[in-house]
Amino acid sequence: MSDVDAAVTRAHRGEWARVVAALTRRFGDLDIAEEAAAEAFATAVERWPTDGVPPNPGAWLTTTANRKAIDRIRRESKRDDKQKEAQLLYDDDPPEPLGVIDDERLRLIFTCCHPALAMETRVALTLRMVGGLTVAEIARAFLVQEPAMGRRITRAKDKIKAARIPYRVPSAEDLPSRVSGVLAVLFLVFNEGYLATGPGTDPVRHDLTAEAIRLTRLIRALLPDDGEVAGLLALMLLTEARRTARVSAAGELVTLDEQDRGAWDTTLVAEGHRLVRERIATGVPPGRYQLLAAINAVHTHARDIRDTDWSQVVALYDQLARLDPSPIVALNRAIAVAELDGPDVALAAVERLEDRLAGYHAYHATRADLLRRLGRSPAARAAYDQAIALAGNTAETAYLTRRRDQLARP
Amino acid sequence: MQYLFSVIHDAATLATDDEMAAIDVFNDKLVADGHWVFAGGLGGPTTATVIDNRGGDALFTDGPFLESKEYLAGFWIVEAEDLDVALKLAAEGSKACNRKVEVRPFL
């Protein structure tokens, strides 16, 4: 990659959300902001190789995008709207100071993650407006046709405009619930990357996990005192640290007990541990993401699976279950219980969840593993079959199939 | 900015006395806070008549334009600066009338 290409890529990563946010603020229209930002970056790709990279790429991009937006508004404005046109012509402000623009990005994120939008719409809009992914990239990430994804994003922009979804940071009283809405979007993006579904996709979509981490880092920079933001970032880092160890060269899932712990990314582990420690030091009761991060910190703290402090893991799951009494938390708690009290105790706990989790592949996979450990091969085989039928991730399917085929023949 | 709050109901029942009392309190608050534009309760779908005069020969059909379990039981039109304000009001309205409420902006 040439220096100029690298500068464009860097500017895109660093400046896209700022440019879109600043333009949305100025023109009050996401569609104009998005299009003008895209045009400004296209102009950079065209001009920087010959003109050189400007000393302040962000300011150059914002100014260029502002002009593009004004051009479009002028093209669209009616002939009798001369006064407005003149105003736009002369109101070519220099970019606003950095602190203000950072605030603008926060407005942009809260607008894209507004609760009046469907979850899948929030995800798509956030990746487009804040993440700067193209419609084609987002469509590919979620296995939808590009025109369908384009329509979803267009409809969302239309709704934001017509229903007047406000472009602002929510009031203090609404902030916690709105932040948790933003984190839910980012966690969904991360999970789709971490456990990618679909027969033709890579088992781990590093592009999505990386994007989720990047956006969560951004939120963390904007809301440094929010414990759940820190918790989600730590959770993502501690999960991402194990990415390469989680899938074998043959494309098969490697479970935690069989992973090569030397292959974990020590830098990410250290950063994740630091965030968890920082949260514990505040003494503020942890939320859901902080507890999940703490559980992952216990796992990544052990140099060997046998060194895992399972009683600590179970205690953290107990704490989590009080906040989130979902059957999935109970299922994960049972997996830890198997290590502490044995697979028979865990199996009884797992089977109590059947009513609610019968359609979830991890329920059957967990049950299959416990039955296998108890030597109940025929029952384990049936459970593996059910898990394989429901699993969407290729690496997981490969792992479950091998496990099933290794069972003693009846 | 004005929004239409459509009250959606799925049974042929009218508002109870308690519900009417809560709606009155909510309406008073809308007026006091400057959100009130208009509101009304509607007769049930069986009282509806659909008119189609597109062809210049008015055709009357007995009943609602759409047969469905859920129907429009009443509405509010409110003035609100943005959707966040409208959604907060709609949440209060839904609680007061004890029915689902759909929020749509006027263009």
Phi, psi for residue A3 in degrees, rounded to 5: -60, -40
Task: Indicate the SS3 state at residue A32.
Answer: helix
**Range picked from A85-94, A100-109, A299-308 for highest mean pLDDT:** A299-308
Over residues A187-202, the mean pLDDT reads 76
Does residue A31 lie within any of the structural domains? Answer: yes
Q: How far apart are CA A375 and CA A8, in angstroms?
A: 58
DSSP annotation string for B21-70: HHHHHHHHHHHHTT-EEEEEE---GGG-EEEE-TTSS-EEEES-SS--SS
Phi, psi for residue A358 in degrees, rounded to 5: -60, -25
Over residues B58-64, the mean pLDDT reads 93
Task: Indicate the SS3 state at residue B77.
Answer: strand
Nearest residue to A193 via CA among A208, A210, A183: A208
Lowest mean pLDDT among A85-89, A180-184, A395-399, B78-82: A85-89
pLDDT for position A200: 60
* Biggest CA pair distance of chain B: 46
Length of chain A: 410
pLDDT for position A82: 56
Q: How far apart are CA B8 and CA B69, in angstroms?
A: 10
Q: Which residues of A touch B81 (CB under 8 A)?
A: 164, 166
Considering the four listed CATH numbers 3.40.190.10, 3.30.70.1060, 2.40.430.10, 3.20.20.70, the one that applies to the domain covering B2-105 is 3.30.70.1060
- The percentage of chain A sitting over the pLDDT mark of 70, rounded to a whole number, equals 91
Chain B within 8 Å of A162 (Cβ-Cβ)? Answer: yes
pLDDT for position A106: 87
Query: pLDDT band for position A168 (50/70/90)?
Result: confident
Looking at per-residue confidence, does A153 or A76 come out higher? A153
Over residues A78-95, the mean pLDDT reads 50
Chain B within 8 Å of A28 (Cβ-Cβ)? Answer: no
Chain B nearest C-alpha distance from A359 (Å): 30
Q: Per residue in A379-398, pLDDT tens?
A: 999 999 999 999 888 889 99
Q: Which residues of A touch B88 (CB under 8 A)?
A: none
Q: Report whether pLDDT(A65) > 80.
A: yes
Please identify which residue in the block is written with the tokens 């916690």.
Answer: A176
Q: Per residue in A99-140, pLDDT tens?
A: 454 568 889 999 999 999 999 999 999 999 998 888 988 887
Does residue A175 lie within any of the structural domains? Answer: no
Chain A within 8 Å of B37 (Cβ-Cβ)? Answer: no
pLDDT for position A175: 85
User: What is the domain range of residue A91?
Assistant: 3-99
pLDDT for position A78: 61
- The percentage of chain B sitting over the pLDDT mark of 70, rounded to a whole number, equals 100
Cα Rg, chain B, nearest whole Å:
16
pLDDT for position A86: 47
Does residue A227 lie within any of the structural domains? Answer: no
Measured between CB atoms, which of B1, B83, B107 is closest to A116?
B83
pLDDT for position A102: 57
Q: Do B84 and A162 touch (CB under 8 A)?
A: no
Contact present, A167 and A25 (Cβ < 8 Å): yes
- Indicate the domain borders of chain B: 2-105
Q: How far apart are CA A77 and CA A84, in angstroms?
A: 9
Query: pLDDT band for position A170 (50/70/90)?
Result: confident
Q: Report, in this order, helix, strand and coil percent for chain B, each rounded to 5.
A: 30, 35, 35
Does residue A13 lie within any of the structural domains? Answer: yes
Number of structural domains chain A divides into: 1
For the record, the structure tokens of A20 come out as 């879109």
Q: Report whether pLDDT(A95) > 60.
A: no
pLDDT for position A408: 76
**Edge-to-edge, what's the strand order for the sheet holding B2-9?**
B36-41, B71-79, B2-9, B100-105
- The counts of H helices and E strands in chain B are 2, 6
Over residues B9-16, the mean pLDDT reads 90
Query: pLDDT band for position A91 (50/70/90)?
Result: very low
Query: pLDDT band for position A143 (50/70/90)?
Result: confident
Q: How far apart are CA A281 and CA A289, in angstroms?
A: 16
Looking at per-residue confidence, does A369 or A194 come out higher? A369
Q: Which residues of A touch B2 (CB under 8 A)?
A: none
Q: Do A163 and B84 touch (CB under 8 A)?
A: no
Chain B nearest C-alpha distance from A164 (Å): 5
Chain B within 8 Å of A161 (Cβ-Cβ)? Answer: no
Q: How far apart are CA A271 and CA A395, in angstroms?
A: 27
Q: Per residue in A18-54, pLDDT tens?
A: 999 999 989 989 999 999 999 999 999 999 999 999 9
pLDDT for position A14: 85
Strand partners, B105: B3
pLDDT for position A251: 87
Q: Report, in this order, helix, strand and coil percent for chain A, each rounded to 5.
A: 75, 0, 25
Q: Per residue in A210-254, pLDDT tens?
A: 889 999 998 898 889 999 999 999 999 999 999 989 989 888 999
Lowest mean pLDDT among A173-187, A353-367, B18-32: A173-187
pLDDT for position A101: 47
Query: pLDDT band for position A90 (50/70/90)?
Result: very low
pLDDT for position A233: 98
pLDDT for position A398: 93
Give burial (CB, 10 Å; 0-12/13-18/19+) of A246. Answer: buried
Does residue A299 lie within any of the structural domains? Answer: no
For the record, the structure tokens of A385 come out as 């079959």
Does residue A93 lie within any of the structural domains? Answer: yes
First and final CA of chain B: distance in angstroms? 9
Q: Do A164 and B82 touch (CB under 8 A)?
A: yes
Contact present, A396 and A195 (Cβ < 8 Å): yes
Q: Report whether pLDDT(A337) > 90.
A: yes
The residue type found at B68 is S
pLDDT for position A89: 44
Q: Which residues of B touch A165 (CB under 8 A)?
A: 82-84
Give the Å distances, CA to CA, from A124 to A13, A33, A133, A142, A185.
17, 16, 9, 9, 9
Give the Å distances, CA to CA, from A25 to A4, A20, A122, B1.
29, 9, 19, 19
For the record, the structure tokens of A164 come out as 């007047």
Looking at per-residue confidence, does A85 or B63 come out higher? B63
Contact present, A398 and A250 (Cβ < 8 Å): yes
